[in-house]
Structure 1
Amino acid sequence: MPVANRIPILCLGLLLATTSCERPAPPTTAEASDSYNLAAYIEQQQERLQAEKPMVLKSVTTEEKPTETIQTAEIDWEDELSVFAETDLNRPALQEYYTREERVLPDGNIVLEYNRVEDAEPLVHYLRLEMTPDRVLRQLNALIQDQNILFYSRRNIQLTADPSSGNISGYRVQGVQKLVLSDSLHYQIDANL
């Protein structure tokens, strides 16, 4: 094929690649607009913590080993909070995989719960957000499960925030992972700021 004939095909390929990487349009339904913007919250917290570098008491426990505890201010917050960023369910492509329920508790706090629909296999199986009446995050609980032929991972995660500021005050990750032909590894990570 002559080079002149390849150029339009190359341009078309680049155009398709560029448009396929565009960010999807935000949800337009009233329900989606009432949802909590978890991705923006996590990003804002990552930036704040990276700038402030607070002291963190972090404990890691794995099977048959003593708990290791460190106190440090040297944490890569983007990496550290990435598991919580995975629970953002506001993307339009994910809406069909979940039922969504919002209710007000007797103390005025708001609970927003997402449960996966039967027969769906998304990464996040359950998400519960508890917020103040002003929609400031107090607590996040989620179950994340990933499975394929070679790998199994299940994590129960919890994040707590100061209700007056919304800033993260602590988090926990309890998990199990298993590679094919190896034993399961159970672990728990606790962090307090």
Structure 2
Amino acid sequence: MRFLSITFLLFSITACDYTNQVSEELNQEPYYDLTGLVERQLAHLNSLRPSVEIMATINGQQEVETMQKDSADWVETLKLFSEASINRPVLQGSYQVKDSTDQNGLNIRIYRAQQPADVEIPYLAVYYQDTLQNVRKIETVFLEKNALYRTERRMEMQLSSSEQGPLLTKYQSSGTQKMIFRDSVHYRVEATLKYPS
């Protein structure tokens, strides 16, 4: 458990209609709502209570463990993805948005920072089927640096279709953490969720 816990350290109209439309547009977030997705997944995880197999590798040492997480554990685990939300007022207008498709026919919306060195999240990609509500995969990069340390995380969530909507099935995080006066730590965490049948 200690080994795994280390890995967790490391988003002509009538006047009335026009007013409603403007109000809705003002309430819409400019980029993909990653925080909202995480909140919906936390609700599913709390009600469905899947087991999770975690394979963690730190500097070449690997450990595999299957566990049942409680709600506090899931909040801490998915906090990494919430922190990668780009829907912050300070980031408005910071990203170029591009749409494409992958080899499997999924649509991809890519948010790429215009000045990557100036933001913590230089890249976010949302893979979806038909509409952004039917998300199938999230890919993102998170960078953080200060006088004491530098962290780079590459993260991914995979989701499947369910009656409740998109449902988290896998997640992974890999990267490097370099603290002042210490060697770099390279890690990778891959987790697979298994829901009760």
**Measured at CA, do residues 106 and 182 of structure 1 come closer, stay the same or move farther in structure 2, by a change above 3 Å?**
closer
Cα distance in 2 for partners of 1:81, 1:90 equals: 17
Cα distance in 2 for partners of 1:167, 1:109 equals: 17
Cα distance in 2 for partners of 1:30, 1:102 equals: 19
Alpha-carbon shift at residue 127 of structure 1 (Å): 0.6
- Max radius of gyration: which structure? 1
Task: Give the aligned residue type for 1:133.
Answer: D
Where do 1:55-70 residues align within 5 Å?
Answer: 55-65=51-61, 67-70=62-65
Residue 75 (structure 2) aligns with? 78
- TM-score, reference length from structure 2: 0.75
**Measured at CA, do residues 26 and 175 of structure 1 come closer, stay the same or move farther in structure 2, by a change above 3 Å?**
farther
Residue 110 (structure 1) aligns with? 107
Cα distance in 2 for partners of 1:26, 1:95 equals: 18
Where do 1:1-193 residues align within 5 Å?
Answer: 28=26, 32=30, 35-65=31-61, 67-75=62-70, 76-104=73-101, 109-118=106-115, 120-135=117-132, 136-164=134-162, 165-193=165-193
**Could you list the runs of 5+ residues in structure 2 that have no partner in the other structure?**
1-22
Cα distance in 2 for partners of 1:145, 1:44 equals: 25
**Measured at CA, do residues 99 and 29 of structure 1 come closer, stay the same or move farther in structure 2, by a change above 3 Å?**
farther
Q: Which has the higher contact order (CA 8 A, sep 6+)?
A: 2
Residue 17 (structure 1) aligns with? none
Count of matched residue pairs: 166
**Could you list the runs of 5+ residues in structure 1 that have no partner in the other structure?**
1-24
Over the residues paired in the alignment, what is the CA RMSD in angstroms? 2.5
Residue 8 (structure 2) aligns with? none
- TM-score, reference length from structure 1: 0.77
Instruction: Check the 8 A contact 1:26/1:91 in 2, yes or no.
Output: no
Cα distance in 2 for partners of 1:31, 1:39 equals: 11
Q: Deviations over 1:51-96 (max 9, x none)?
A: 322011001101142x111111124111111111122212332123
Instruction: Check the 8 A contact 2:29/2:87 in 1, yes or no.
Output: no
Cα distance in 1 for partners of 2:48, 2:180 equals: 41
Instruction: Check the 8 A contact 1:115/1:125 in 2, yes or no.
Output: yes
Instruction: Check the 8 A contact 1:97/1:120 in 2, yes or no.
Output: no
Cα distance in 1 for partners of 2:142, 2:184 equals: 16
Q: Deviations over 1:18-70 (max 9, x none)?
A: xxxxxxx99739892xx4322111111012212322011001101142x1111
**Measured at CA, do residues 64 and 109 of structure 1 come closer, stay the same or move farther in structure 2, by a change above 3 Å?**
closer
Query: 1:41 aligns to what SS in structure 2?
Result: helix
Query: 1:51 aligns to what SS in structure 2?
Result: helix
Task: Give the aligned residue type for 2:183.
Answer: D
